[in-house]
Structure 1
Amino acid sequence: MEVASKLNWNPLLADPSGRRQNKPRTLGKTMVIDKGLGLHAFEDLLETSSEHLDMIKIGFGTSPLYPLQILRKKIEMAHAYGVCIYPGGTFLEVAIVQGEVSSFFEMILNLGFTGLEISDGSIEMKRELRNELIERGLDEGLDVITEYGKKGWGSSIEIEELIETVMLDVEYGAQLVTIEARESGMGVGIFDEHGTCKDEELNQVLSAIPAQDILLWEAPLKSQQVHLLQVLGPDIHLGNIFPQEIISLEALRRGLRSDTLSFANARS
């Protein structure tokens, strides 16, 4: 055991890109979507991948469907491994529709969630309410992540609306603004019905937003991750990653897969 504890991969092999930040990092954050992992699978995820993931989203409105002791345990484990955990923005949308925003906040704080996602993918939300929710989340000590984009099939990005949303969200204190792609990655946002990136829209977003590090791109499919990493670089924030794909994505970021081996070549 003593010999094994001294073993370490050469940095040139562990991270050929030479760019990967350690946690807590400001660049290259990864968000996992949890659509119903059991405790053992959740613990396995954290034991094997916690150094490579920064946020876990309990998908859409699944939070109240867990036995409370199970949900509490998942949140506690995320804390222990230094991972931000929050309920999906759709659940807050449900709370808005039901007129139960206060009880929503009370419950997520009592449970120990450390983040808040604010979205309007399925509802219409006035700017004033969005601002209030951002401020409330910050006042409660939560990491606030907002989201831009509708969830409907074929929904696209309105550039002027996106610019205004991102700038105001950040001004009010949001740490990141997520670009919607759902868990399917098809027919929404910057992806067409086949999941292929619409580069013209991507370029419009990039030309309009001054800093990439405020955007988190939902990209559940490997082809999307590869494309965005190749176009934007390994330091972009990516989300809606499936739990079993975390190590694979980390390999892409570091230049440890053939798709991104150029990241290693760029270092030499």
Structure 2
Amino acid sequence: MPSAENSPGTGASAAPQATETVLGVRMPARQPKPRDRGLTMMIDWGLPPLYQADVVKTAGPFIDMAKIAGSIAGLMDEEVLLEKLRLYREADISTSQGGLFVELAVMQGRVQLLFENLARLGFDAVEVSDNLLDWSLEEKQQVIASAREEFGFRVLGEVGKKEGTLTDSQVMADLDACFEAGAALVFLEAYEFFSGERIRADLIQSIARRFGLERVIFELPVVILPGVSREFKHRVTAWLVRELGTEVNLANLEWDEIWIAEMTRRGAGGDTSHPGGAYSLTGHGGS
């Protein structure tokens, strides 16, 4: 279990509404798509279109957003990329590029060109991050505003660094700046909140009180990075759901983690600890 600097304690405590499953066992209900809470973002490391089509066919009802990760969108054949975006669009799954591209575009002075191409290809959302970029909050706001006002993108801000750590006050100021500039949602960089076995629970609680959990989306640590295992990633997922509730927004789930994440959201993933999960329907949840 990751250690937390105090627990937010904002998870659901009342028994949830139930739905009948195909097997006849009752489970907690979830808001259907299009959802405004309990969002799941899948990270796409270049899934081949036919493979992706199968993933979308089976798990599509639980995927709200898909990010073509890193710099993959710029390396992929355009026709393949167009096919992938079409498949997501037809499944009512919002698409965005990896935030790395905006950072590179800023450094190269090509932000407008990047946005033009993302719009032409059919992305409906843009991630604006500064994981590896040093710039002012005012410059970040200008890019967010441009993406939204000039190109009509749904802007996904991101707060946090992959190298170094922001103070609590810096995180809050960055969130303020993103929302003031028009970001629809803001990703919370996993490195900032889940480092090793430590969770910045006090900061998470402050964010929940000030901005509301429906406006932020927690990035889960990705397993390609040093020191991150699938087991740790799942423990972080379970902690977020248990402490913040079924409808916490989650990002960076791999295609084969969608189902276990959904089971975890509903408290039917192998333990009874989720106070708003399946076992609470019988009076046994939250242990």
Query: If the length of structure 1 is used for normalisation, what is the TM-score?
Result: 0.86
**Structure 2 residue 156 is the aligned partner of structure 1 residue 145:** yes
Partner amino acid for 1:202? Answer: A
Q: How far is 1:21 from its partner?
A: 0.8
AA matched with 2:244:
L
Among candidates 180, 191, 196, match of residue 194 of structure 2: 191
What one-letter code is carried by the residue in structure 1 that aligns with 2:162?
K
Equivalent pair of 1:230/1:260 in contact (CA under 8 Å): no
Partner of 1:213: 214
Q: What is the match of residue 240 of structure 1? A: 252
Q: In structure 2, what is the equivalent of residue 5 of structure 1? A: none
Shift of 1:24: 0.9
Which residue identity lines up with residue 105 of structure 1 in the other structure? F
Aligned pairs for 1:95-114 (under 5 A) are: 95-114=105-124
Q: Do residues 258 (structure 1) and 270 (structure 2) align?
A: yes
| Superposed structure 1 runs of 4+ greater than 6 Å apart | none
Pair 175,197 (structure 1): closer, same or farther in 2 beyond 3 Å: farther
CA RMSD of aligned residues (A): 1.9
Using the TM superposition, give the Cα deviation of residue 61 of structure 1 relative to its aligned residue in structure 2, in angstroms: 1.3
Cα distance between partner residues in 1 of 2:23 and 2:141: 44
Q: Kindly tell me: are residues 79 and 11 of structure 1, through their superposed partners in 2, closer, same or farther at Cα, counting changes over 3 Å?
A: same
- The whole-number CA distance in structure 2 between the counterparts of 1:240 and 1:73 is 21
Q: Greater helix percent: which structure?
A: 1
Q: Which of 34, 39, 55 is the equivalent residue of 1:29? A: 39
Query: Aligned to 1:179, which of 157, 176, 188?
Result: 188
SS in 1 for 2:195: coil
CA spacing shift, 1:265–1:233, aligned 2, 3 Å: same
What's the secondary structure of 2:251's corresponding residue?
strand
In structure 2, how many angstroms separate the alpha carbons of the residues matched to 1:248 and 1:62? 26
Q: Deviations over 1:20-61 (max 9, x none)?
A: 111111111001111121111211111111110111011111
Q: Aligned in 2, Cα 1:203/1:112: closer, same or farther, shift over 3 Å?
A: same
In the alignment, what sits opposite 2:69? Answer: 59
1:124-164, Cα deviation, whole Å (9 max, x unpaired): 12222211221122222211111111112xx3341101111
Deviation at 1:256, TM superposition (A): 2.2
TM-score, normalized by length of structure 2? Answer: 0.81
In structure 1, the residue corresponding to 2:25 is in which secondary structure?
Answer: helix
Could you say which residue in structure 1 is the equivalent of 2:48?
Answer: 38
SS in 2 for 1:26: coil
Out of 174, 197, 217, the residue aligned to residue 165 of structure 1 is 174
Q: AA paired with 2:160?
A: G
Of the two structures, which has the highest relative contact order with CA contacts closer than 8 Å and spacing of 6 or more? 2
Number of residue pairs matched by the alignment = 247
Task: Tell which deviates more after alignment, 78-87 or 135-144.
Answer: 135-144
Is the contact made by 1:226 and 1:259 (CA closer than 8 Å) also made in structure 2? no
Q: Percent identity?
A: 28
Preserved contact between residue 144 and residue 174 of structure 1 (Cα < 8 Å):
yes
Distance in 2 separating the partners of 1:75 and 1:108: 11
List alignment gaps of at least 5 residues for structure 1.
1-7, 182-187
